[in-house]
Structure 1
Amino acid sequence: MASVLGLLEAKESAAREAVERAREETVRAAAVLEEAERVLERLVIAREAVVEVLAEPAGRAVVAVEGAAVAAAVAGSPVPHQSGRLARAVLAPDYQRIISVLESEAAAGRNKVRAKDLAVALGLDVVPAKIEGVRSQAKRLAERGWITRHQSGEFGILTA
């Protein structure tokens, strides 16, 4: 007959495993939620911009765009495609920080940086949700021509 302590230890072990699985699932769900919130925010901004443009007379909208200066971005703003003429100031502060970290790493001779190392350099908690958030932002910068994404999945600054 099994001992009471042995049975309790087995149940405790199973409960610990269930808790760990639930924690991992929560981290994954948090990352999905974070990305969904970013998508929603971009869509709201896009809709508001379209409504604003459609509300103005056609000639006035063109004049306003031609005379407008490039403003600094705010947190949560979309990443524009780099055409070689855009200043880093058009990027949201989080994206600017990623580029700054990559430049610092390149100056130290490290031309390839993993998302986990970026998260550490940015002072974030080293948990999957934060690492995946940084990876997502870095991938977005790479897709739009601001940085390089190597085949290994690591990131670096653009070389001329």
Structure 2
Amino acid sequence: MVSLPEELQAREAAARRRVEELQAETAELAIRLEEAREDLSRLEITRETVAQVLAELSAAETEPHDATGRVPEANESATPHGVGVMMVPPWREGLVVAVLPDVYRDIVEIIADAPGPLQAKQVVPRTGLPTTTGKIEGTRGKLKRLLERGWLDEDAPGQFTLARQGPGRDRVNSQ
């Protein structure tokens, strides 16, 4: 006959083994999840790049004439190099955040909802991405693009806030 303390020790050992097995499975799933997120990120970037290239090609095919009305020769480009689809348009009066691609819109909304300036490493987890170096750097690039196009301001290096655009937004206590 087995004593109660021995039975409890056996059950505790079995439970400990089960916890260790589940922790190992969790670690494996976390690795697989990160790999799947990286694959998704690469596919999104590829899709955006392909859409941009196709838009440039489509624009070149639909406008075969240059400004003078002549057809460019075979070695000439119908559109200048570097001209293509601008995914983040420059901010101007009357432009709403809805014109931005989803990722950029999310970033602007996160910055707008923040009580103060945010860094890229603070924005990344709020977008649902893992806080890996690659995701932080990618987000920093998006923040800089939004800054260049007038959607955001950079109060101090790496500290992003919503841009102070429009009448009265650049003054404290403007109401």
Instruction: Indicate the TM-score class for this superposition, using the shorter chain for normalisation.
Output: 0.5 to 0.7
Distance 1:100 1:12, change over 3 A: closer
Aligned to 2:101: 92
Aligned to 1:156: 161
Aligned to 2:50: 44
Aligned to 2:123: 115
What is the TM-score of this pair, normalised by structure 2? 0.51
- Consecutive unaligned residues in structure 2, runs of 5 or more: 1-8, 70-84, 165-169, 171-175
Distance 1:50 1:101, change over 3 A: closer
Work out the number of aligned pairs and report it: 132
Distance 1:12 1:117, change over 3 A: closer
Confirm or deny: 8 A CA contact 2:152 2:162 kept in the other structure: yes
Higher RCO (CA 8 Å, separation ≥ 6 residues): 1
- Consecutive unaligned residues in structure 1, runs of 5 or more: 64-76
Aligned to 1:139: 140
Structure whose CA Rg is larger: 2
Q: 1:111 is paired with a residue of what secondary structure?
A: coil
Greater helix fraction, Structure 1 or Structure 2: 1
CA RMSD of aligned residues (A): 4.1
Q: Percent identity?
A: 11
What is the TM-score of this pair, normalised by structure 1? 0.55
For 1:60 and 1:111, locate their aligned partners in 2 and report how far apart those are by CA, in whole Å. Answer: 46
Q: 1:156 is paired with a residue of what secondary structure?
A: strand
Distance 1:51 1:117, change over 3 A: closer
For 1:43 and 1:26, locate their aligned partners in 2 and report how far apart those are by CA, in whole Å. Answer: 26
